[in-house]
Structure 1
Amino acid sequence: MSQPVGTLPTQVTGDLYAEVQTFYARQMRRVDALDIEGFADTFTEDGEVVHAGGHRQRGRAEMIAGMRASLPRYQDIAVRHWFGHLIIETDDADADLLRVSYYTLVTQTDREGKVNFQPTFTVEDELVRRDGRLLTRSRVIHRDTPAAPPAA
């Protein structure tokens, strides 16, 4: 998934950029610590995630159930989610809505310290502000694939 470059109508403030970065740092530390309920709490009650394979989870309860079912995959490994190259867009019609696109890399480290890199993804989020707090309302995850070569 590629993001057009240079198409942003406005640039966000440094304070907003830092707030969004901090939100993601806290959100990912929860998921990496396998704090399933804490991670789900960073989404709106009706929030949804569309995974790269097309599987959709709606609402916190469905997210929690899906993550609990996946817990055996994470036995004896430390998982880290690394986000970068955030593009943050505000919405003139809704001051409480942010659209954020970013790249993510996931690493898994075993007990011997061997690091395994997972495929990379581009993620598109809609963040909303509720009671002064950022929450994820929507997340769409795209597995990265090579770009098509330019036409001759």
Structure 2
Amino acid sequence: MSQSVGIRPQVTGDLYAEVQTFYATQMRRVDSLDIEGFAATFTEDGEIVHAGGRRQSGRAEMLAGMRAALPRYKDIATRHWFGHLLIEADPADEDTVRVSYYTLVTQTDREGKVSFQPTFTVDDVLVRRDGVLLTRSRVITQDGPDTRAAAA
């Protein structure tokens, strides 16, 4: 899938740092299997659309899905690495921020062997509630070759 990347208005350094800190906190929660803490970083009605189209709406549904997946993480340490964040403040709503980024997920087993998972592009809508950023929506798209390269 290709994405259009145009010139975007620059956000303040304070907002950039706040968004980076938000993601660092959110991912440390999920990587440490603090699923309740991770779910709390979403709005109550938050939504995730996973690669492949599976949709989870609301914290309760997210928690149920994460609880069911916990056995897969018994003998591994998972780390989410984010980069190339494009952050846009919503000109119509000062409490809304749109963020697009790339993610790489590593998994390390008990012997220290590291495996890499597929890479993804993630598009989030963050909202400020009572002064705190929360994820209102997340769309995760697995990366793949750009179809324009095959046509060349």
1:2 aligned onto 2:39: no
Query: Alpha-carbon deviation of 1:92?
Result: 1.0
Q: Deviations over 1:35-83 (max 9, x none)?
A: 0000000000000000001000000000000000000110110000000
Aligned match of 1:121: 120
Aligned match of 1:52: 51
**Partner letter of residue 6 of structure 1?**
G
Tell me how far apart the structure 2 counterparts of residues 119 and 44 of structure 1 sit (CA, whole Å): 27
Please give the secondary structure, in 2, of the residue aligned with 1:6. Answer: coil
Task: Count residues with an aligned counterpart.
Answer: 151
Q: Percent identity?
A: 79
Q: Deviations over 1:78-137 (max 9, x none)?
A: 000000000001111110000000000000000000000000000000000000000000
Can you give the 5+ residue segments of structure 1 that lack an aligned partner in the other structure? none
TM-score, reference length from structure 1 = 0.96
Aligned match of 1:36: 35
Aligned match of 2:99: 100
Please give the secondary structure, in 2, of the residue aligned with 1:11. Answer: coil
Query: Which segments of structure 1 move beyond 4 Å, counting only runs of 4 or more?
Result: none
Aligned match of 1:26: 25
1:136 aligned onto 2:135: yes
Counterparts in 2 of 1:70 and 1:87: CA distance versus 1, 3 Å: same
